Amino acid sequence: MKAQEKYRIMGIDPGTNYMGYGVLEVAGRRVRSVVLGDIDLHKLADPYAKLRYIFERVGALIDEYGPREVALESPFFGENVQSMLKLGRAQGVAMAAALSRSLTVFEYAPMRIKQSITGRGSATKEQVAGIVCRLLTLDRPPRRLDATDGMAVALCHYFATASPLNAALGEERVKGLGGGKKAASKGGSQSWEQFLKQHPDREIK
C-alpha cells in the first residue's frame, strides 16, 4: 500500500498587536492541529521593532514546524489608509519570512476564509473559533481568538487546494468565494471601517 503523503500548512492572521497562527498537518484526507497560538506584539511601542519581531518569530515557527506552504489573510481595502498600510506591512513581513525560506505563499480574503469555515462570510470570530475547534477536535478555544483565526486560514487553504470536495465542486466555487494567491475582500471600505471598530487591537497605536 502506498504511504499517504504528509505535509503541513501554516496559516497566519496578520495583526500588529497580536498575530495569530496555526499549523495544520495533512495526511491523505485526515487533518490535525499541530500547534496554534499568537505572537504578542502589543508591548512593543516602536512599529519597526514590531516588524522585526514578526519576521524573526514567523521565521522561527517555520523552522520549528516545517510547513510546506504558508497561507495568510489578506488586508481589507478601504478608506482608512494608515491602518491598512500598517496591517499590510505586518502581513508583508510575515510573507517575507516565508519567502526567505523558499516556501510558497498564498493569500485569502477575510470573507472567503469565514465562508469556507462557517458557510457565512459575515461570521464572527467566536463562530469561526467554535467550528475550527469542532473540526480539529480541540477541547476549547484559545485565550485569544487570533490563534483560531490563524488556523482558519490554514484550513481555508486546505479546503481550496487539497480537499476532494473542492475538486468536485469545481472552479466556480473558488471564483465565487474569491481569493487564491491574490485576494481582496468584496466588502470595500464599509467592511474595513466596521472591522477596525470591532478589532481595535489590529492598529499600531
Could you say which of 38, 73, 107, 149 is catalytic? 73
Q: Quick: pLDDT tens for 84-119.
A: 888 999 999 999 999 999 999 999 999 999 999 999
- pLDDT of 201 over the 60 cut: no
Q: Confirm whether 146 is a catalytic residue.
A: yes
Q: What is the pLDDT of residue 110?
A: 93
In sequence order, which residues have a C-beta less than 8 Å from that of residue 191 and are 6 or more positions away? Answer: 76, 78, 110, 111, 185
Find the CATH number of the domain harbouring 38: 3.30.420.10
Q: Confirm whether 73 is a catalytic residue.
A: yes
In a domain, residue 1? The reply is: no
Q: What is the pLDDT of residue 85?
A: 86
pLDDT (mean) for 38-58? 96
- pLDDT of 21 over the 60 cut: yes
Q: Indicate left, alpha or beta for 74 from its phi (over 0: left) and psi (-120 to 50: alpha).
A: beta
Q: What is the pLDDT of residue 155?
A: 97
Could you say which of 13, 25, 38, 149 is catalytic? 13
Q: Confirm whether 13 is a catalytic residue.
A: yes
In a domain, residue 10? The reply is: yes
In a domain, residue 169? The reply is: yes
Contact by Cβ (8 Å): 73, 199: no
Q: What is the pLDDT of residue 203?
A: 44
In a domain, residue 114? The reply is: yes
Provide, rounded to the nearest whole percent, the portion of the chain with pLDDT above 90.
Answer: 65
Task: Dig out the grid coordinates for 53 from the structure.
Answer: 519581531
What does the alpha-carbon distance between residue 205 and residue 201 come to, in Å, rounded to a whole number? Answer: 9
Task: Give the long-range contacts of residues 121-126, CB within 8 A, separation 24 or more.
Answer: 125/149
- The rounded mean pLDDT for the chain is 82
- The beta-strand segments (E) located in the chain are 6-13, 18-27, 30-40, 69-73, 104-108
Domains: count for the chain: 1
Could you say which of 25, 38, 69, 146 is catalytic? 146
Q: How many CA atoms lie within 13 A of 11 on its CB side?
A: 31
Q: What range does the domain containing 76 cover?
A: 6-202
